[in-house]
Amino acid sequence: MPGQGPLFLARAVYRRRRLRDAARLLPVLGLVLFALPALGRGATRSGGDAVFLFLVWAGLIAAALVLAPHLVRSERDSDAPLPEGDAGAEPGASGDKGAGGNR
Amino acid sequence: MPFNVLVLACLVYVIFLFLVAFVVERRAALGRLGFLRSPVIYTLSLSIYCTAWTFYGAVGYAARSGIEFLTIYLGPTLVFVGWWLVLRKLVRIGRQQRVTSIADLISSRFGKSNMLGVVVTVIAVIAATPYIALQLQSLTLSFSVFAVDTPEVWRGPGNADIALWVAGGLALFTILFGTRKLDAKEQHHGIVTAIAVEAVVKLVALLAVGTFVVWGIAGGIGPVIDRLAAVDAPGWQVQPDRWIGLIALSAAAVISLPRMFQVMVVENIDESHLARASWAFPLYLFLMSLFILPIALIGMERMPAGGNPDMLVLTLPLGEGQGALAMLAFLGGFSSATSMVIVETIALATMISNNVVMPLWLRLRPEAAMSGDLRSGVLLTRRLAIAGVLALGFLYYRFSGGSAALASIGLIAFAGMAQFLPALLGGIFWRGGTKVGALWGLLTGFAVWAFTLFLPSFGEGAAIPAQVFSDGLWGLGWLRPHALFGTDGMDPLVHSVFWSLSLNTMVFTLGSVLTFPDPVERIQGVAFVNAFDREAQAERLGWSHGQAEPEALLALAQRILGEEALTFFEAQARGQGKEGFLPDLTPDFLAEAERKLAGSVGAATAHAMISQLFGRATVTVEDLMAVANETAQIMEYSARLEAKQEELTRTARQLREVNEKLTQLSVQKDAFLSQISHELRTPMTSIRSFSEILTEGDLPPAMVADSGRIIHSEAVRLTRLLDDLLDLSVLENGTVQLNLELAHLGGMLDRAVQAASQTRPERRFEISRNPLAEEIFLLTDPDRLVQVFINLISNARKYCDAEPAILRIAVRQRGGRVTVDFIDNGKGIAKDKQALIFEKFARLTDQTRAGGAGLGLAIVREIMANLGGSITYLPGQRGAAFRVMLPLRLEKPADGART
């Protein structure tokens, strides 16, 4: 979107954006890891699969635990309207499929 | 354990929960929620995702299919870990729009459509039926486990009777819990807290059983894992299609299940709670699932042949003689089932009353919006709806035989609820989604789900004839319930989910792309999709000024909101800077009031009510179009009137001008007549008096001669005057005969100077000319032109008062026109007289100095007009200055008319 705010952002805002990117990507990572047992055909490996799944699960919970407070803070910080330049999903003008990344 | 002790324990537990809810409601009413508003309560309340299905069914599921049961918890984990993507927006929209249910959200998004609300409600009720039946079944089973265990002490009633008692008890319990009062935001603090308590009970119970199994029976974690690895049960292998399909299905369900929507969106107090729940809720699921596999593993080893693996959580401790632990487990299962049933039925009852019954009632009895207490009506509807939903669940339980595995029943409900997902996500992320698309998408998905999963769940040949299963609907091979479009060999559940959701999505997108949303839809679309955009929120569909009085609105609001309405109105009035309870009906206030009402009775109903107050039954697109058409007509009509009026004004102005001219002409004519009689009278008077003297006779000859001369000169003067008048009249009528010939301008000026020299011949008078510029030949009437020049030169001779008097004659030729300026060095003519000089009898100075009758310049003007030129006075030349303009070649006018 040319003409909408600065091309390069201040460090804090930049961090905030990447934080949100991470929050959006976390479920994708989780899905890929959760799908792995379905790919491993062959011998029944319920024990191994179960341990693996619970470990991934715990990892995701930990990641969400780390991200959540930062996301809440970033949302509060950006309460003041700021130009959103590169956050991929923009529900603003076009309003089509976007992940609701405004504010 | 005696059966009646069990029932007593249940009753005590229920009373305890009721007390918790009651105390919390009291505190909430006093505004002292304190820790009850914490994210912990919110997270725990989300645990109604874990129903009796989780508590009993998951172990059975694990015993039958191994780790596949985990998919049901992995899906929601992904959704919550990814809360930033979907849930955050959903919760924000829910709070902004005061959404009361998922049906309300979808109907509100697609133009506050009643129809969609009804469809979503019907689908939700039908899809929830198996789920509620599941709870009844698990409770009945758990009761019967104890009943069977102690047949000699208490001969328990039959399973069907237990189920009936359970259903009745749950209905009573829910009605007591959920419909005691009507809350503006449809939030139930008491119930949420009670559910949180139940969440703790079920977690503790499951963890206790798990701990007992792992450390009490199996001998620690290590051996359990070893045993797990050694298992080679037939169904334990992971099936990739089911694995992925179930993760997706559970992820969809956690968003669109009515009860999840209720606790997650509607009961949300603070958006930041969602952030905490993003990891805390997956953690809860994690803990719930942790011991499922060990319990299933050990339970299967010890379970007698033919035992029900769904009840392992109870039978395992009972078999080991742990009565207290079994009791705890029973309460855990009881908590799971009751909390689910309470919230689910409340959510469904809200949907039924807000989206089906109330709009219908208001349509049948429009006056109801104005009269009667709606609160009791709403509450009654909800109570009946709760009883009805539970009755449906009971019927499903009876007809499906109550024998199927819990998990498979739950998955049928999941697949049904998942049909909301395309419309829901499409609604909040895609502005292009339309009502028609959503409606047909939902109906398509629902139909496919019912045909491929729901109806077959009653058993082959029960709801759908066995022949259809083998040959397809109407004998069409591609319409077999388990092999749509020839997709043989798919797992029935995955098959149904795949086809219902993909056809649903396809129809929704296609319908949306092909249709055009009405204005309300488009406005709501912006409000939903741009929920994080403040400017878009400011332009929400509002109410403009109508005829409703604030009192009427207050009366309406009071019937729905009770005392809260007064507080709200007072706050709004204060916000507008007014005293009292009646704010001005600004669009903002009305929109706020509508939203407030929507919190109680749903968006569509609130909209209909306010519409009624404003004298409009319903605001449909047709109404809007009609209004627009009328406006257009009125505008066109007024435009036409305006044009006509302008024309009239123009005509009137023209008439006025003509009238003024006529008046002037009349005045001029009068002045002319009086002038002419005066002019004629003067010479006549002297002629008469001198001729009288002559008639007396006896006069000296000198005197006779003198008198005769005077009479003669006066007669000459009279003749000249009459000549002038005649000349003028001829010129004015345009009947003058012009003798056009080629003439030399210099020569004509010479003649004029010569002729004019007789005027005041005693004066010293210089004429400065430029003979070179005068070398022009004109095609004109030379005699007439010379007459003009003579007049101008003799005028200068007469009136120029400078000494010595100099007249400059400047000739210029430009294009086809020749300009001759006569400029003297006298005082010139005063500005206010300049307009008068060309009028008849206009003599600026006293008559004494003038030899003529004052017709000279008038005649000059007429001559110039006849010669196709003009004469104007040139101001600002320091003396009197006249400019004569005439064409180089005068075309002979046809028929002697004026050119």
B53-86 pLDDT, tens per residue?
888 888 888 888 888 888 889 999 999 988 888 8
The whole-number average pLDDT for the span B123-139 is 87
Note whether B80 contacts A: Cβ–Cβ < 8 A.
Answer: yes
Collect all residues of chain A within an 8 Å Cβ-Cβ radius of residue B432.
Answer: 96
Residues 202-231 of B with CB under 8 A from A: 225-226, 228-231
Both tokens assigned to B24: 């919390």
Pick the residue with more confidence: B897 or B419? B419
pLDDT exceeds cutoff 80 at A85:
no
Lowest mean pLDDT among B157-166, B415-424, B573-582: B157-166
CA count, 13 A, side-chain hemisphere, B586: 12
Q: Do B78 and A100 touch (CB under 8 A)?
A: no
pLDDT at position B846: 47
Size of interface A-B (CB pairs under 8 A): 149
Phi and psi based region of residue B231 (left: phi greater than 0; alpha: psi -120 to 50; beta: remaining): beta
Rounded to an integer, the average pLDDT of B198-215 is 89
The whole-number pLDDT of residue B92 equals: 86
Nearest CB to A47 within list B225, B290, B429: B225
* B588: Cβ contacts below 8 Å, ≥ 6 apart: B542
CA distance, residue A49 to nearest chain B CA (Å): 8
Least confident of B67-81, B192-206, B649-663, B752-766: B752-766
B389–chain A nearest CA distance, Å? 35
Cβ separation A96–B430 shorter than 8 A: yes
Which region among B27-36, B40-49, B368-377 has the lowest average model confidence (pLDDT)?
B368-377
pLDDT tens, B702-737? 888 888 888 888 888 888 888 888 888 887 777 777
Q: Would the pLDDT of B356 be above 90? A: no
Q: A6-20, A50-64, B372-386, B623-637 — which is least confidently predicted? A: B623-637
- Yes or no, beta carbons of B84 and A71 under 8 Å apart: yes
Q: Which of A23, A38, A92 sits opposite B238 (nearest CB)?
A: A38
pLDDT of residue B853: 59
What is the DSSP track for B45-71?
HHGGGS-HIIIIIHHHHHHHHGGGGGH
pLDDT digits (tens, 9 = 90+) for B532-586: 775 444 444 444 434 456 666 776 777 677 777 778 888 888 887 777 777 777 7
Nearest-by-Cβ selection for A92 from B80, B283, B533: B533
Distance CA B708, CA B702 (A): 10
Is B429 in contact with A100 (Cβ distance < 8 A)? yes
Model confidence at B442, pLDDT cuts 50, 70, 90, reads: very high
Query: How much is the pLDDT for B542?
Result: 42
Chain B residue with the nearest C-alpha to that of A55: B286
Nearest by Cα to B592 from B617, B548, B555, B557: B557
Retrieve residue B754's tokens: 């010569």
The contacts of residue B408 (CB under 8 Å, 6+ apart) are B457, B493
Specify the higher pLDDT residue, B518 or B422. B422
Q: Most distant CA pair in chain A: distance in Å?
A: 58
Do the Cβ atoms of B282 and A61 come within 8 Å?
Answer: yes
Contact B238 A40 (CB under 8 A): yes
| Mutation choice for B interface testing from A21, A51, A60, A79 by most B CBs within 10 A | A60
Task: Give contacts of B233 with chain A, Cβ < 8 Å.
Answer: 44
Mean pLDDT calculated for residue range B781-803: 85
Top residue of B85, B86, B276, B291 to mutate, by most chain A CBs within 10 Å, is B85
Model confidence at B868, pLDDT cuts 50, 70, 90, reads confident
With an 8 Å Cβ cutoff, are B81 and A103 in contact?
A: no
pLDDT digits (tens, 9 = 90+) for A20-58: 888 888 889 988 888 887 776 545 566 677 788 888 889
Q: How far apart are the first and last CA of chain A?
A: 17
Phi, psi values for residue B321, rounded to 5°: 80, 20
The answer for residues whose C-beta is within 8 angstroms of residue A45's C-beta and 6 or more apart is B229
Residues of chain B neighbouring A61 (CB-CB closer than 8 A): 77, 81, 279, 282-283, 286
- Give B695-709 pLDDT, tens digit per residue: 887 778 888 888 888
Question: Contact B869/B887 with Cβ under 8 angstroms?
Answer: yes
pLDDT for the residue numbered B708: 85
Residue B724 pLDDT: 81
Report yes or no: A59 at the B interface, CB cutoff 8 Å: no
Q: Which of B100-109, B392-401, B416-425, B585-594 has the highest mean pLDDT?
A: B416-425
Taking residues A64-74, report their average pLDDT.
85
Is the CB of A64 inside 8 Å of chain B's CB atoms? yes
**Cβ-defined contact of A92 to B82 (cutoff 8 Å):** no
- A83 versus B852: the higher-pLDDT residue is B852
The residue ranking higher by pLDDT, B475 or B719, is: B719
Amino acid at B65: S
Nearest-Cα residue of chain A relative to residue B88: A100
Q: Which helix (H) or strand (E) holds B818?
A: strand B817-824
Q: With bands split at pLDDT 50, 70 and 90, how would you rate the model's confidence at A1?
A: very low
The answer, for A44 touching chain B at a CB cutoff of 8 Å, is yes
Q: What average pLDDT does the segment B326-349 reach?
A: 87
Among B69, B20, B13, residue whose Cα is nearest residue B45: B20
pLDDT interval class at B617 (50, 70, 90): very low
For position B186, what pLDDT does the model report?
A: 61
Q: What is the pLDDT of residue A19?
A: 84
For residue B213, the SS3 value is helix
pLDDT category of residue B644 using cuts at 50, 70 and 90: very high
Among B441-455, B694-708, B758-772, which range has the highest average pLDDT? B441-455
Residue B357: pLDDT above 80?
A: yes
Q: Position A12: which residue type?
A: A
Beta-bridge mates of residue B889: B779
Residue of chain A nearest B244, judged by CA positions: A35
Q: What CA dihedral angle connects B667, B670, B675 and B677, to 10 degrees? A: 180
Which carries the bigger pLDDT value, residue B182 or residue B734?
B734
Q: Is the separation of the CB atoms in B320 and B232 below 8 Å?
A: no
Pairwise CB contact (< 8 Å): B78 & A98? no
- Residue B444 — very low, low, confident or very high, per pLDDT cuts 50/70/90? very high
Q: How confident is the model at residue B899 (pLDDT cuts 50, 70, 90)?
A: very low
Question: In chain A, what residues touch B533 (CB-CB under 8 Å)?
Answer: 91-92, 102-103
User: What's residue B305's pLDDT?
Assistant: 65
A91, B429: Cβ pair inside 8 Å? yes
Of B80, B238, B276, the CB nearest to A49: B238
- pLDDT of residue B896 exceeding 70, the answer is no
Minimum CA–CA partner of A98 in chain B = B429
Least confident of A74-88, B157-171, B880-894: A74-88
B662-691 pLDDT, tens per residue?
A: 988 888 788 778 877 877 888 888 888 888
- A62 pLDDT more than 70: yes
B413 vs A44, higher pLDDT: B413
Q: In this model, does residue A10 exceed pLDDT 80?
A: no
Long-range contacts of B620-629 (CB under 8 A, 24+ apart): B621/B518, B621/B519, B621/B520, B624/B518, B624/B519
In what helix (H) or strand (E) does residue B710 lie, and over which residues does it extend? helix B701-733
* Pairwise CA distance, residues A4 & B707, whole Å: 107
Evaluate if residue B225 carries a pLDDT over 90.
no
CA distances from B467 to B461, B473, B499, B875 (A): 8, 9, 21, 114
Distance CA B552, CA B557 (A): 9
Q: What is the pLDDT of residue A91?
A: 38
Q: What percent of chain B has pLDDT over 90?
A: 8
Nearest CA in chain A to B288: A54
Nearest CA in chain B to A35: B244
- Hey, are the CB atoms on B232 and A44 less than 8 Å from each other? yes
Cβ atoms of residues B419 and B454 within 8 Å: no
Structure confidence at residue B1 (pLDDT): 55
What's the average model confidence in pLDDT over B336-356?
86
In terms of C-beta distances under 8 Å and separation of at least 24 residues, what long-range contacts does B853-858 make, across chains too? B853/B679, B853/B720, B853/B721, B853/B724, B854/B675, B855/B721, B855/B724, B855/B725, B855/B728, B856/B724, B856/B791, B856/B795, B857/B791, B857/B795, B858/B728
Pairwise CB contact (< 8 Å): B279 & A44? no
What pLDDT does B228 receive?
A: 76
- Mean per-residue pLDDT over chain B, rounded: 80
Contact A50 B70 (CB under 8 A): yes
Burial-class residue B769 by CB neighbours within 10 Å (0-12, 13-18, 19+). middle
- Please classify residue B783 by burial: count the beta carbons closer than 10 Å to its beta carbon, then call 0-12 exposed, 13-18 middle and 19+ buried: middle
Give yes or no for A103 touching B (CB within 8 A): yes
Q: Rounded CA gap, B614 and B608, in Å?
A: 10
* Distances B115 to A7, B17, B356, B645 between C-alpha atoms, Å: 46, 37, 9, 50
Distance (Å, rounded) from C-alpha B358 to C-alpha B251?
A: 32
